[in-house]
Structure 1
Amino acid sequence: MRRMLIVGAGQSGLQLALGLQAQGYEVTLMSNRTADEIRVGRVMSTQCMFHTALQHERDLEINFWEEQAPRIQGLGVSVAGPVTPLGHPRLVDWVGELDGCAQSVDQRLKMAGWMDAFERRGGRLVIHGATVSDLNFLAERYDLLLVAAGKGELGSLFGRDATRSPYTSPQRALAVAYVHGLAPRLEHPDLEAVRCNLVPDVGELYVMPALTASGRADILFWEAIPGGPADVFEGVTDPSEHLALTLELMEWFTPWEYGRATRVELTDAGGTLSGRYTPTVRDPIGRLPGGGLVLGVADVVVTNDPLTGQGSNSAAKCAASYLASIVEHGDRPFDEAWMRRTFARFWATARHVTKWTNAMLAPPPDHIVRLLGAAGQLPAVAHRFANGFDDPADFENFFYEPDKTAAYLEEAEAAGAAEVAEDAEDAEDGGTDAADVGDAIDTASEAAEQVG
């Protein structure tokens, strides 16, 4: 029986541990905290997992919270316009339907539950903050060492890949609050949806339904441009002050979201989180002092800003990809060539996430402004953009290049006009003129361009 050591008990480390365990491997998992410490600790993330990532959990039968978590059926975008005496108006607002439901489960709940399941199934759980010297000592005792926790000393094992890492400093200051008491969106009160609110020169506010230990909750998540008016959370340690600042920013910059948040309260004393980090891609292989090799997992080697909500999704996809590579390799040595092939297999998916996230961190060019405006008039465009969160590879086809965006919008506008014309033929009063579709798109785009 082949022996595996995994350092890190997050989405990727635990999912991979449980997957290897199910395949008959002898797995040791190292975590710097117990399950109980995680349960009562501070929130760790703003995870929203989409269909493909969730299916990896279903395949392993570890989707324990599927029935309790809110079924997220849509993803919406709002764009704030220039400031007025009354604050920021909304220039763009739409929601696209997801092909498969998404969900968000508080990682305190999920990781603690998975750790318990791993132990129940016979896995060896070691509570210890691993160091480089620990791994150097253990290297000869295991067939493969995988590092799924990159903070602190272990992160130094994996050098920065400058060719894939355009940023050298944090591009957003992050602030999270888990709350109870948020009212539904008036535009779709019966539809659970993630809402992305873009505020030019300020940042983004995400609002997403979630499940936490105390039941259904919502996550309020500011992504503030460093040094901008929403970058106000550094040094704030009091949870009540954190929530008050969150709401103050919402009231001024996203009043349409603040209107449903006037009665919210924190889910618990650990329901806030703030910080910032630099998006970075690293060499996937770490070299130990004694010559042993370790393979980095998920965000240890591909760290993206949470702006596009891909962290847990990429972690789940990495764990599934690595699991397949390990099983397919059989009894052969896990040498450097295999490690590079294994990472390359994951990078084939992860590169799309990195490209899209880095693009979204920059001010939107004109063709993206037009795309977001058109989505408010053409449900097919809203649908495609929303489902890109599940499959970011599709953005290659219509997002990055102005010519591809223009061609796609022309095609979508023609299809929309044809649909309107067909409906009009069936209406006794003649219905809406199909040409109105194009006019509406132009109007929405002109409004959206005001944010530039």
Structure 2
Amino acid sequence: MRKILIVGAGQSGLQLALGLQSQGYEVTLMSNRTADEIRSGRVMSTQCMFDTALQHERDLQINFWESQAPRIEGLGVSVAAPGSHAEPGGTARAIDWVGRLDGYAQSVDQRVKMAGWMETFAQRGGQLVIHGAAVSDLDFFAGRYDLTLVAAGKGELVSMFGRDAARSPYDAPQRSLAVAYVHGLGPRPEHPDFDAVRCNLVPGIGELFVMPALTTSGRADILFWEGVPGGPLDAFQDIRDPNEHLATTLELMETFLPWEYARATKVELTDAHGTLAGRYAPTVRKPVGRLPSGGLVLGVADVVVANDPITGQGSNSASKCAAAYLASIVEHGDRPFDGDWMQATFDRYWTTAQHVTKWTNAMLAPPPEHVLNIIGAGGQVQSIADRFANAFDDPSDFENFFYDPDKANAYLASVTG
């Protein structure tokens, strides 16, 4: 039986561990926290997983919360009209529409999911080691395993993987991130009968995403500001008190997005650990890390491809990476997991990840005219709104109509006549 070590117990590490376990591999999983510590700790992300990523969980029969989590059936875009926030109570929206998803999306608080998956892994006989691993630890352990995978996207271990400059156009954070999990949010009046993720754009300033979720205390909604560094939304760095964090979130909503604030006047935090703030530079790294002793380790998910959350792809990419790596490991049989295999395994994942990285980096920049035309046309033609929404599940479709002005114009002409 082949022995595999996975360091990191997030979406990718746990999904891969459970998948390998189901295939008969002897898996050791290292986490820096217990399941109870994760469940009672701070929120970790804003995960909204679309149909393809959810299907990977269904395939492994680890979709334990699918019947409980809200079904997100749409994805809406609103763009604040220039200067509209200057008038108190102004509700001017230059663009406002919602596209319908072909297959529903869901968001399960990672405190719920990772704690539950970790307990399942241990119950099924997996070796769970609670230890914050350093490079020296991996150097000691790696020789005892056929393959070592690093799925911990923060901390010292990431330093083993060199930055891929050709695939990383940004060397500094492009957004300041601030998250609040809340109870008591009202429905969007445009579609009170179904749930949707709402993407609200304030040109030149940032974005607010609102998404329904399942958290430790049941149904919730996530309010997620992405602020351009140095701008008015970059206001959370020095806030430590969660209630002050929520108050600032709401003040900014009232100022810049009063139509979202109108349904948020009665919200309260889900719990004392329901806020998160930070920033990081989106980076693609080389997938193969070399230990001091010469051993090789393979980076997983956001260890090697860390995109900005602006396109909501983090958990989706982690799930797709775990699925691709699982297939590569199983197909490889008893042959050695050498550097060439590691590179080829990453390249298999990159066939999908490259589309996410290209799209995310494009969305961080001011939109060119043809992109504004597409987003604007979504308000006039439902099929355009639907196509844009469903590209969140399969970002490769953006190649066909989004980046190139000629393709964009041809698409709009074919749809609008």
Q: Considering the TM-score relative to the shorter chain, is it more than 0.5?
A: yes
Contact 2:379–2:385, Cα closer than 8 Å, also in 1: yes
Whole-angstrom CA distance in 1 between matches of 2:204 and 2:50: 28
Runs of 4+ residues over 3 Å off in structure 1: none
TM-score when normalising by structure 2: 0.99
Structure-2 residue corresponding to 1:30 = 30
Read off the aligned partner of 1:256 and give its amino acid letter. Answer: W
**Helix, strand or coil for the counterpart of 1:141?**
coil
Report how far residue 63 of structure 1 moved.
Answer: 0.1
1:170 matched to 2:173? The reply is: yes
- Alpha-carbon distance between aligned partners in 2 of 1:249 and 1:68, rounded to the nearest angstrom: 31
Q: Distance in 1 between matches of 2:240 and 2:264?
A: 22
Measure the CA separation in 1 of the matches of 2:336 and 2:171. Answer: 36
Say whether the 8 Å CA contact 1:48–1:104 is kept in structure 2: yes
Q: Does 1:333 align with 2:331?
A: no
TM-superposed deviation, 1:202 = 1.0
Distance between the aligned counterparts of 1:119 and 1:191, measured in 2? 37
Q: Indicate the residue corresponding to 2:139 in structure 1.
A: 136
The within-5 A match list for 1:399-418 is: 399-414=402-417
Give the 5 Å matches for 1:50-449: 50-83=50-83, 84-86=86-88, 87=90, 89-414=92-417
Q: Matches of 1:212 and 1:160 in 2, distance apart?
A: 34
Structure 1 position 278, deviation (Å): 0.3
Q: Could you tell me the percent identity over the aligned residues?
A: 76
CA drift of 1:85 comes to 2.3
1:204-233 per-residue CA deviation (whole Å, 9 max, x = no partner) reads 000000000111000000000000011000
* Contact 1:82 1:88 (8 Å CA) reproduced: no
Task: Kindly provide the CA deviation profile for residues 150-195 of structure 1, in whole angstroms up to 9, marking residues without a partner as x.
Answer: 3111011000000000000000000000000000000000110000
Check the 8 A contact 2:91/2:259 in 1, yes or no: no
Question: 1:89 offset after TM fit, Å?
Answer: 1.7
Deviations 1:32-77 (CA, angstroms, capped at 9, x unpaired): 0000000000000000000000000000000000000000000000
Q: Distance in 1 between matches of 2:57 and 2:151?
A: 17
- Tell me the distance in 2 between the aligned counterparts of 1:203 and 1:93: 16
The aligned counterpart of 1:11 is 11
Question: Aligned partners of 1:299 and 1:398: how far apart in 2?
Answer: 27
Q: Is the 8 A contact 1:78 1:196 kept in 2?
A: yes
Cα distance in structure 2, aligned partners of 1:134 and 1:38 = 22
Deviations 1:122-163 (A, max 9, x none): 000000000101110111100000000031110110000000
Q: 1: CA distance between counterparts of 2:106 and 2:155?
A: 30
One-letter code of the match for 1:58? R
Alpha-carbon distance in structure 2 between the residues aligned to 1:88 and 1:340: 51
Deviation per CA, 1:87-115: give whole Å up to 9, x if none.
Answer: 46211000000000000000000000000
In structure 2, the partner of 1:421 is: none
1:386-432 C-alpha deviation (Å, 9 max, x unpaired): 00000000000000011000000001102xxxxxxxxxxxxxxxxxx
Structure 1 contact 353–392 (Cα < 8 Å) conserved: yes
Partner Cα separation in structure 1 for residue 142 and residue 222 of structure 2: 40
Tell me, yes or no, if the aligned pair for 1:106 and 1:212 is still in contact at 8 Å: yes
Unaligned ranges ≥5, structure 2: none
Amino acid at match of 2:237: E
Distance in 2, matches of 1:362 and 1:231, equals 17
Q: 1:41 to 1:271 in 2, by over 3 A?
A: same
CA distance in 1, matches of 2:344, 2:156: 25
Larger Rg: 1
Structure 1: give runs of 5+ residues left out of the alignment: 415-452
Deviations 1:357-414 (A, max 9, x none): 0000000100011111100000000000000000000000000011000000001102
CA-based RMSD of the aligned residues comes to 0.6
* Aligned residue type for 1:62: I
TM-score (norm 1): 0.91
